[in-house]
Structure 1
């Protein structure tokens, strides 16, 4: 009798361990599907809500299904559920990406996997509770042990997803690792209950498990190579770099006949090498020539180095601080040969100092010099010329502005479009008020503001939001062939009269080398067509009411 009791206790511990592991795997699979939906369909707020809501619905459906399962098939059902989760969970990102590249019905494939995985997870908990009922004295003890193991596993799974998978593995690889854990649950359950004689002997289950194990291992070993092949149909030109970081997916394409390089973040074009000057020069040179003093420059975003390249053309610049969240972007801009050629190796010339991390630290301040290659007769070393003090901080721009002290003469905000909640907060009233606090009284800032033609309401909402922060604005736009009609806002403190800025524009002159912009071109950029700056919408974007997120994702890019 004592031996039997010990067996039963071990079985209960095993089932609780299975529930702990399945809870961790279940929450990771939910997060993977939600992340996948956000990357493919955009608008992470909506997609995370939709995916989690659908999964909970189908989990409830799965709980209803288990009521129809006979008691003698419960262990078989658990093994089938874990095997199904291993296959569906492991291959779902890869198959969804394939459907995204080759069909117009990728959302159906995505939500099919969301539904199927939800049903499987919904079956897990009640099935394990019913199995464990034979090994537990009381229902309350059974429920308490199983549910607490599930909830604790979910917490651990969340930590694993956030601190390991997001930082160090592609989403496809994370899926196969999780699938392996699900398979391991099925395997140990099969081994234990087979030894106890609770499973019938036969070849069907072992064969299925061998095939599942082989499939998951094959997928894990090959997923990175698959990623490149799967991703290629999403782009017109050959991919030369594809990398997923903690913050975003980076892709670089290169069309050799035209030597055309394109940088994409999360599938959205950031620049094209053949016309990037039509974007970066209007952003930098007008603001740099309208301010009376330009010794201290702050760049928020712009990790590719193209804005920095233009800023460092001005000898008056003494200090530049570039703040970009993703350290991988600035690392690539500093080391990747294609990006180095486009940004003219600006980070190397500036003797880059990188300060990574979530907080703000004083960092290291270096006097930076660039070789002029002009030798004097009495010297063996090349003559050097002072360039600038340049720092790069890989931190969140909003947190940076909340922590840092000091003022800048020019603030250049070159952020991606407000397509996600994380980006939308960088277009909020609260953010622009922080920018205002760090803009010197004589200073100017410039903000990239999407397309005034293709995203008119978004463009105007950004302008209203900047003005709500107490700044005066001046919109301008330019045709960038890769993007279409693109817009920016100049902004300054209200103590500077608009007439003064307009007067300076009349006599503006660019005394540095440019490839595109001229004083006449900039003056033309200030001209908009009839009613292009008019709208009945008066909303502004705030953190608690991120109206810009909805406007950008639902009202923009739709031509009437």
Structure 2
């Protein structure tokens, strides 16, 4: 027999006094609990990034892991007579599985096309190993000094819960920002293996034979070396995975916390016309900009709101790529544009990458632009709504990621649009990108319903080319509604972001006196496909198309009852 059966306290030969030995066991409980919670949070965060819908991913991970912990506790009963050896083996395996889980999950997504099966599998395995820890630790601590079961359980769970607190705080504030998801998980595994090895290979070394001791030392050493070696390959692994996801033409990749901004294709926005790959900009794996699609999307979001009234002060929500900002700055009467954007990685690329700068016309260099990217968009808008000049924006433009339960549902909620309404000046308008109207009609019409529930008058309109885009134009209830049918009665002054020179561009359905000037601006800012902005006639048709497919009876989305 490798371990001695359960013995009286004096049979446990320790290299330190019993009190110190007991403290070391409780310290290992603390460390193992912190590592276990990091694995759990790592799985939730990465699955939310890869799959989306963080509520579902968190529910899957937590429920599967809690169930598996119960199974692991039952299975560990058979190891109590070999508690030291069992605990060392469990910790080595947990360090390997938990430390490598993030990399394996990312690999499954990149090369197998999905991560859900891997997510469930790792949640089950990690949960079982975490569940096996407590019965074995209870046995080891009783070997040092016998005490009543209630007192021993209280001590172990106190160390366990405090460790979970520290692990939960270290993940978002230390591991994620400084090491990233993959390296952070690998380093956590190293710490986990070290904690298990110290307890058994030093503190309880007399409980195992020399042969087993060397075997455990070799196993723990191999696990630690493997995890440390993995940290050296993280960068090349991420490049290979990005190539698999984005098609092998990744030019720039920037990570900020859990967010990732990626540029693919040729850096010249016009090169696709001569057979090169179009410049494409992805944020968190979702395509935001393609140079081959031209300015249809951004112009169709911006111009209907800008041409229906005053537009001296504009608030832009999202739009880190700068293309919607480029459209806004074409208007000579714009005096101030406030950009609320939380994605620092995307902002840096939009300001520094030659390709994106060519597309957005160096919009961020315009002196009329003020950027705020501290905190999330909801809190940023709340601060603006409480400011002394609240209710002073003529136009609010929402160029945010499509609504989902994951992390953007609050930005399409009744409460959020209530803040938007407070930010609007009398007669102000708001334009919202509400997702694909044909592909996800329920989501699109829920956004429109939610806008109306916040006291805004709405006019939806839908594009089919170059992709399925759904928009909603809205205004405050105490001002005239957004007149899509009157959009052709206006002319609007445009300016290039680079020069600031104003030009008049006609908005009639046919070519007008300003058509040439509008074309000059388009060429100055990088160009694109032949699909330009909607003409007034096309805009009216887009509005009728939307009304023809309207879904009724949908409840609005709120912070407490997200409907997306």
- Specify the TM-score bucket, using the shorter chain as the normaliser: 0.7 to 0.9
> Is residue 298–residue 320 contact of structure 1 (8 Å, CA) maintained in 2?
yes
What is the aligned counterpart of 1:241 among 235, 246, 252?
252
- Indicate the SS of the match to 1:526: helix
**C-alpha distance after superposition, 1:118-148 (max 9, x if no partner):** 0110011221111111112313332222211
Which is further off, 510-519 or 138-147?
Answer: 510-519
Aligned counterpart, 1:501: 483
- Which residue of 2 is the match for residue 22 of structure 1? 32
Structure 1 match to 2:372: 392
CA distance in 1, matches of 2:324, 2:75: 58
Q: CA distance change for structure 1 residues 509 and 241 in 2, over 3 Å: closer, same or farther?
A: same
- Work out the CA distance in 1 between the residues paired with 2:437 and 2:293: 19
> 2: CA distance between counterparts of 1:74 and 1:4?
15
CA distance in 2, matches of 1:208, 1:127: 19
Q: Quick one: structure 1 residues 408 and 186, their matched pair in 2 at CA, closer, same or farther if it must change by over 3 Å?
A: same
- 1:106–1:45: structure 2 CA closer, same or farther, 3 Å change rule? closer
Residue correspondences, number: 503
CA 121–215 in structure 1, closer or farther in 2 if over 3 Å, else same: same
Match of 2:460 in 1: 475
1:218 aligns with 2:218: no
3-state DSSP class of the match of 1:487? strand
Cα distance in 1, alignment partners of residues 380 and 415 from structure 2: 13
Contact 2:304 2:484 in 1 (8 A): no
Say which of 176, 180, 189 aligns to 1:179. Answer: 189
Distance apart, 1:179 and its partner CA: 0.5
Partner Cα separation in structure 2 for residue 392 and residue 65 of structure 1: 53
Residue 451 of structure 1 is aligned with which of 436, 452, 476? 436
> What is the CA deviation profile of residues 169-204 of structure 1, one whole-angstrom value per residue up to 9, with x for unaligned ones?
32111110111111111331243146x522211242
Aligned equivalents of 1:26, 1:197: Cα separation in 2: 28
Residue 309 (structure 1) aligned with residue 291 (structure 2): no
Contact 1:285/1:510 (<8 A) preserved:
no
Q: Deviations over 1:512-559 (max 9, x none)?
A: 3254123444333323078412x25421111111112xxxxxxxxxxx
**Deviation string for 1:249-307 (max 9, x for gaps)?**
3222215743412222222211212214111011112211111x211111111111111
Within 2, Cα distance between the matches of 1:210 and 1:437? 61
Aligned partners of 2:297, 2:14: CA distance in 1, in Å? 76
**What SS does the corresponding residue of 2:95 show, helix, strand or coil?**
helix
- Cα 1:430–1:149 change in 2 (3 A) is same
Distance between the aligned counterparts of 2:369 and 2:360, measured in 1? 18
- Give runs of aligned pairs for residues 530-545 of structure 1, distance below 5 A: 531-533=548-550, 535-545=551-561
Question: 1:379 is matched with which residue?
Answer: none
1:268 to 276, 279, 286: 286
Q: Is contact 2:330–2:493 with CA below 8 Å preserved after alignment?
A: no
* 1-structure distance, mates of 2:115, 2:172: 26
Q: Which residue of 1 aligns with 2:509?
A: none
Q: What is the TM-score of this pair, normalised by structure 2?
A: 0.85
1:58 is matched with 68
- Helix, strand or coil at the partner of 1:299: strand
- Between the aligned partners of 1:268 and 1:439, the Cα distance in structure 2 is 30
Instruction: Specify the alignment match of 1:38 in structure 2.
Output: 48
Distance (Å, rounded) in 2 between the aligned partners of 1:136 and 1:104:
52
State TM-score, norm by structure 1.
Answer: 0.85
Q: Post-superposition, which runs of at least 4 consecutive aligned residues in structure 1 deviate over 4 A?
A: 3-6
**Distance change >3 Å, CA 106–CA 544, structure 1 → 2:** closer
Tell me the SS of whatever aligns to 1:412: strand
What CA deviation, in whole Å up to 9, does each residue of 1:309-339 have, x standing for no partner? Answer: 1111111111111001122221221122222
**In structure 2, do the counterparts of structure 1 residues 161 and 177 end up closer, same or farther at CA, with 3 Å as the change threshold?**
same
Q: Does structure 2 conserve the Cα–Cα contact (< 8 Å) formed by 1:508 and 1:519?
A: no
Give the whole-Å Cα distance in 1 for the aligned partners of 2:338 and 2:225: 51
Partners of 1:233 and 1:101 lie apart in 2 by: 6
Q: What is the CA–CA distance in structure 2 between the aligned matches of 1:496 and 1:272, rounded to whole Å?
A: 36
1:341-366 C-alpha deviation (Å, 9 max, x unpaired): 22122212x2xxxxxxxxxxxxxxxx
2:186·2:227 contact (CA, 8 Å) conserved in 1?
Answer: yes
Do 2:80 and 2:136's aligned partners in 1 also have CA atoms closer than 8 Å? no
Q: 1:401 aligns with which of 377, 381, 385?
A: 381
Partner of 1:232: 243
| In 1: Cα distance, 2:489 partner to 2:399 partner | 26
Match of 1:382 in 2: none
The 1:144–1:168 alpha-carbon spacing in structure 2 relative to 1, beyond 3 Å, is same
Two-structure CA RMSD over aligned residues (Å)? 2.2
